[in-house]
């Protein structure tokens, strides 16, 4: 089940960060996101376990994905896609007009996921990442609003 991150999820999200990224967010940084009105983090819980999460920050009307990760044991089951779709739905409802993210140029799994969701490459930042040094691709999706008829 996908739900907004709360205090009870923070430790598990921090552990997944360490597992999945070479420059993980700290537990404290993740916890501080709960206090930020412009942050939206969602988690997928399976059998009481945090199987994946996605974090975003918004500067209306634009939003950025901070990170998305799925626990290795739960990959290729549609969780990453479901988390991104839930984020897109919620940010659209909040009036955001675009969603932008950076991804390592070699991260084929994530790039395939983002392209399947309609993200397009809008730029490239040379040597953006360290450990190992690598370019970032900048991807963006324009978000749609259900405009009222009248
Ligand atoms: C990227 C990540 C979040 C995908 O999560 P996931 O739950 O396994 O993804 P899904 O099962 O929802 O896959 C959705 C689509 O993404 C693509 N995809 C996902 N993993 C893939 C892989 N290993 N190779 C190729 N395509 C892949 C496929 O198009 C897939 O659709 P399909 O299963 O119908 O073929 C996960 O691999 C992960 O946590 N990676 C480490 C952290 C990371 O790199 N995060 C992104 C930082 S920008």
State pLDDT tens for residues 96-120: 999 999 999 999 999 999 999 999 9
Residue 93: inside a domain, yes or no?
yes
Beta carbons within 10 angstroms of residue 129's beta carbon: 19
pLDDT of residue 144: 86
Q: Has residue 146 got a pLDDT over 70?
A: no
Residue 68 beta carbon below 6 angstroms from any ligand 1 atom: yes
Tell me the residue range of the domain where 125 lies: 2-142
CA distance 80 to 73: 13
State pLDDT tens for residues 43-75: 999 999 999 999 999 999 999 999 999 999 999
Q: Catalytic site residues?
A: 102, 114
CA distance 39 to 26: 16
pLDDT of residue 132: 93
Residue 148: inside a domain, yes or no?
no
b/e burial code for range 33-54 (CB count within 10 A of at least 16 → b): beeeeebbbbbbbeeeebbbbb
Residue 120: inside a domain, yes or no?
yes
How many domains are contained in the chain? 1
Residue 101: inside a domain, yes or no?
yes
Average pLDDT over residues 124-135: 95
CATH number of the domain residue 98 falls in? 3.40.630.30
CA of 148 to the centre of ligand 1 (A): 35
Please report the atom of ligand 1 found closest to the CA of residue 103.
48
Task: For residue 42, give the H/E element and its range.
Answer: strand 39-46
């Amino acid at each position: 089940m996908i739900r907004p991150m709360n205090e009870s999820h923070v430790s598990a999200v921090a552990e997944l960060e360490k597992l999945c990224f070479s420059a993980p967010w700290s537990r404290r940084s993740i916890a501080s996101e709960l206090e930020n009105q412009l942050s939206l983090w969602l988690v997928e819980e399976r059998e009481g376990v945090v199987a994946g999460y996605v974090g975003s920050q918004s500067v209306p009307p634009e939003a950025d994905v901070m990170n998305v990760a799925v626990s290795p044991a739960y990959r290729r089951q549609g969780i990453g896609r479901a988390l991104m779709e839930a984020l897109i739905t919620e940010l659209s409802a909040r009036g955001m007009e675009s969603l932008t993210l950076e991804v390592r140029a070699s991260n084929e799994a994530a790039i395939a996921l983002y392209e399947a969701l309609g993200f397009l490459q809008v730029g490239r930042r040379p040597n953006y990442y360290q450990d190992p040094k690598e370019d970032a691709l900048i991807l963006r999706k324009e978000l749609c609003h259900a405009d009222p008829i009248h």
